[in-house]
Amino acid sequence: MPARVTISGLATNVKSVLAARYYFRCATSVGARVRVYGRPAVKNEGVMRIGDRVRLLSTIATSQIEVGPEGELDIGDSVVMSFGCSIGVTKLIRIGARSRLGPYVMMMDSDFHCLEPERRLERPPSQPIILESDVWIGTRAMVLRGVTIGYGSVVGAGSLVIRDVPPRTLVAGMPAKVIRSF
């Protein structure tokens, strides 16, 4: 049986595609059929590439994406980012195709300041964050600088990822530890 398209469904679809063009107007490139729901905060001073069929939700809580002057953000095809996500890029963050980011996920490739009180105005070097294809990141998880999450891996809700995650692995906890491989 063919799917029915309602007028309100069509209007929502058109509105989300137009919203994507508006909110990603500062992006270097935007793929086909990208959709934005809600009102995200998007700032790009570097390179921002958005793949085909990406969906960004910013309905219940504002999603934030900021790319600094020397930063590069690559979002692969068919990525879904839920509401409240926060991505800060000073060097490189790459999100692989078909990855899913749950609500309130945070990714930052820089610590933005040193720990010592006399050096707090200094910015330490950034390290890239790489999410390979088909990665799922659970609600309120945080991924810090220098981390690569392997193909098909899952990060449990509320986890703090400070080390690389092997492919096809479930990690969870603070800091995130391997629970099992699949």
Known catalytic membership, residue 20: no
**Which helix (H) or strand (E) segment is 174 a member of?**
none
**Which helix (H) or strand (E) segment is 82 a member of?**
none
Closest C-alpha among 85, 180, 98, 97 to residue 141: 85
Query: How many Cβ atoms from other residues are within 10 Å of residue 132's Cβ?
Result: 19
Cα–Cα distance measured from residue 54 to residue 65, given in angstroms and rounded to the nearest whole number: 14
Closest C-alpha among 11, 37, 156, 28 to residue 165: 156
Catalytic residue among 113, 119, 120, 163: 113
Cα–Cα distance measured from residue 52 to residue 69, given in angstroms and rounded to the nearest whole number: 24
Instruction: Enumerate the active-site residues.
Output: 113
